[in-house]
Structure 1
Amino acid sequence: MTRAVDHRALNFPAQRTCPYAPPREYAELREHSPVHRIELPNGSSAWLITRHEHVRAVLADTRFSSDRGKPGFPSLLAGQARTNLSGYPMMISMDPPEHSAARRAVLGEFTVRRMQALQPRIQRIVDDCLDAMLAGPRPADLVTALSLPVPSLVICELLGVPYADHDFFQVHTTSLVRLSTPPEERSRSMGELTAYLSELVSAKQAEPGDDLLGRQVLKQRENGTEDHGALVGLAFLLLLAGHETTANMISLGTLILLENPAALAAVRDDPALTPGAVEELLRYLTIVENATSRVATTDIEVGGTLIRAGEGVICLGHTADHDPEVFAEPERFDIARGARHHVAFGFGPHQCLGQNLARLELQVVFDTLLRRVPTLALATPSDQLPFKDDASVYGLYALPVTW
């Protein structure tokens, strides 16, 4: 067991120089110093975990805490300590046994069977968005025409959030995931969003409907555990995670398929290939690079390196999903790879609750888009596209397309 030392300076977080490959600095660490101590923007330090096997080991080990309020939990925000995002209890920041109970209470909302029941409605939403896009001017921005409205509508209907308010929450969630957002703007967005969701939960408590939040209210009452704050935290987490990540995957996934015409043609001609293509897109892009952070609650060895109690770790999922020890020729996009063991949805107890919903949305979007718009093409060269280099969830601000 060793204590690794810095062998080179690293400006963290590093930016992708290629939109699809990990930053060169991270790839070098994965090969030469896979558990590496770095300085964070707020002046504290943490360990970067870069290899696939080590990332999965950390995320599966409950001795690494997810509690963002614990001393030593890594923060990517300059001048700020890492705290619970909303001020309300959220699963993403819980440890067992609280996390286990909170997850179990809502897990039934995201089963494969329930997602299959949602498929006709998701199909209708996608078709409506494409109807509007095809009837409009060319070129069109796929982000505003399809990528944002589809997951926004789906999560609004699932939660019981009025879709008329989607512009409001998109503005504020965009502010929250942008690393360069000034602290006062971040605080304002957080306050306005949580105030809105608190009012929404109060309305659900007064009159529970047949939606996720309404069902949770009734379940809590039946168990004698009704908790306004917990419901606000749940709504915040699902609203933020439920549209921001999927929207970016739709945009980037479409771009990848357009840049790989053989794969695009194969998926268009045989929808049975779409699930495999979705898994490879998730692996290839892994858009939430730095979200899986933890803090050690005891001394733990990872990859032969000793991490002390109270030290933070950041698992670099994108770098792990390009680990050549696990994925042969990882920089090659291969829809036949069979890459379901990627960590794009995390791993272990905190693995993404909504992954079945995300997979379904992506499959319906890509099948429908490729079938209905077979001549889809970029209207702007890919090297001129506005990538989200300043955000904690990678993606595109715009994707001009024509047909």
Structure 2
Amino acid sequence: MSMTLPTTRPATRPWDPPEGLAELREQRPLSRLTYPDGHVGWLVTSHALVREVLADPRFSVRPELAHPPVPGVPGSDQPAPPGIFNGMDAPGHTRYRRILTGQFTVRRMRLLTEHIEGITADHLDAMGKHGGPVDLVAALAQPIPAQVVCELLGAPMADRARVQAHVLDLFRLDSPPEQMATAYAAVHAYLGELVAAKRAEPADDLLSGLTTSDLSDEELVNIGFVLLGAGLDTTTNMLSLGTLALLSHPDQLAALRADPGIADHAVEELLRYLSIIPFTVRTALEDLELHGERIQAGESVTVSIPAANRDPAHFADPDTLDLLRPTGGHVAFGHGIHQCLGQQLARVELQVVLPALLARFPALRLAVPVEDIPTRTDMLIYGVHTLPVTWEV
């Protein structure tokens, strides 16, 4: 028996995984899945199996082999172009990862903390001057990660608006093909100009640093594309959806306000609890056995991140938000060789912004009922489109 991927989330609990995943995980953690193009592959929902698949080199990340599990995700019949390292297996992936890892060390990300604190303070000042209600996505959650990633890449902040709308178009599940093509071309054209500028006049930024390697312009443009796409949207949705979850769990909100020192625990728990990346896909390179089932070469396996991060076999009381939960074990950043390259940067941003927001506005609250907040069910990365909040002065 085969089914389609569950995607419907509860309206009054938009921070919870799609309905049906928990039942699947309990009854059949490796189940047959019918893909939109008619391919019949697999869905993995348990924490243990998710980690097993993501760590097994017999499962490929190559886009030309994969079948997207939901409509609107563009497929490809071509290998990832040079520099799109998140679409490559080893050893191609290994080369890029080795070059880039030095740019994303824990130490370098921590050095950014003071700078992110300053950016955050500026946006909180602007919110306070404006007064409530405000859309927290537009006022805080979107511009802060955008400024951070632009500065990391060495892209002028004035150019953010030029590329951000195009990047978001690439994450929409309902974008017409011609709109996707336009967005893709626009972002690549911009990055081509930026790489040329960095080669001509290097500065103290990531792209300039990479120009000293043996990477070609095409590779640099595509690496910039991967990093810009990830940096402009993922942390934005963690900030907005994380704020929504906290405001909807008063006991946890109070705990973080009372002790900002638990921010590291809080961030790890929110990453686990929210799991804004709904899935990732791998394809079997050979016939193999998994959980007593025969996976045939060429079959795609969809890995459910939200289901894995709510697995009671690994996390006690997993559907409860507990900011003091021991950290570690979640797969919000993936697992194995493709674990998120920018995860330390995301952590720093979340650890700085969320406590600062709650400290600055101790009476922060939602300005509309939870069920009226528009969720990003039409986007590849989950979150909210807007988050109206207000506060008493």
Same fold (TM over 0.5): yes
The letter of the residue matching 1:174 is L
The letter of the residue matching 1:272 is G
Match status 1:226 vs 2:215: yes
What CA distance in whole angstroms lies between the structure 2 residues aligned with 1:345 and 1:79?
A: 20
In angstroms, what is the RMSD of aligned CA positions? 1.7
Residue deviations 1:249-307 (CA, integer Å, cap 9, x gap): 000111111111221121112122111111110000000012x2111111122211111
Aligned to 1:345: 333
Which has the higher mean CA deviation after the structures are superposed, 369-378 or 14-23?
Answer: 14-23
Change (3 A) 1:154 1:211: same
What CA distance in whole angstroms lies between the structure 2 residues aligned with 1:202 and 1:15?
A: 44
Q: 2:5 aligns with which of 12, 30, 35?
A: 12
Q: 1:67 aligns with which of 62, 80, 89?
A: 62
Question: Which secondary structure state, in structure 1, belongs to the residue aligned with residue 102 of structure 2?
Answer: helix
Change (3 A) 1:116 1:85: farther
The letter of the residue matching 1:151 is P
Aligned to 1:372: 360
Q: Show structure 1 runs of 5+ residues with no match.
A: none
Change (3 A) 1:397 1:180: same
Q: 1:267 aligns with which of 252, 256, 268?
A: 256
Aligned to 1:390: 378
Question: Which secondary structure state, in structure 2, belongs to the residue aligned with residue 109 of structure 1?
Answer: coil
Aligned to 1:138: 132
Aligned to 1:214: 208
List aligned pairs for 1:153-172, cutoff 5 A.
153-172=147-166
Q: Is contact 1:142–1:399 with CA below 8 Å preserved after alignment?
A: yes
Change (3 A) 1:104 1:285: same
List aligned pairs for 1:296-335, cutoff 5 A.
296-335=284-323
Residue deviations 1:334-354 (CA, integer Å, cap 9, x gap): 111124210000001000001
Identical-residue share of aligned pairs (%): 46
Change (3 A) 1:235 1:207: same
**CA positional deviation for 1:42:** 2.6
Which has the higher mean CA deviation after the structures are superposed, 180-189 or 241-250?
Answer: 180-189
Q: 1:100 aligns with which of 77, 81, 94?
A: 94
TM-score by length of 2: 0.95
Which has the higher mean CA deviation after the structures are superposed, 160-169 or 235-244?
Answer: 160-169
Aligned to 2:146: 152
Match status 1:285 vs 2:278: no
Which has the higher mean CA deviation after the structures are superposed, 135-144 or 150-159?
Answer: 135-144
Aligned to 2:183: 189
**CA positional deviation for 1:85:** 9.9
What CA distance in whole angstroms lies between the structure 2 residues aligned with 1:16 and 1:88?
A: 37
Q: Is contact 1:86–1:233 with CA below 8 Å preserved after alignment?
A: no
**CA positional deviation for 1:86:** 7.9
Q: Is contact 2:278–2:305 with CA below 8 Å preserved after alignment?
A: yes
Aligned to 1:358: 346
Q: Is contact 1:386–1:398 with CA below 8 Å preserved after alignment?
A: yes
Q: Is contact 1:46–1:313 with CA below 8 Å preserved after alignment?
A: yes
Q: Show structure 2 runs of 5+ residues with no match.
A: none
Q: 2:27 aligns with which of 32, 42, 62?
A: 32
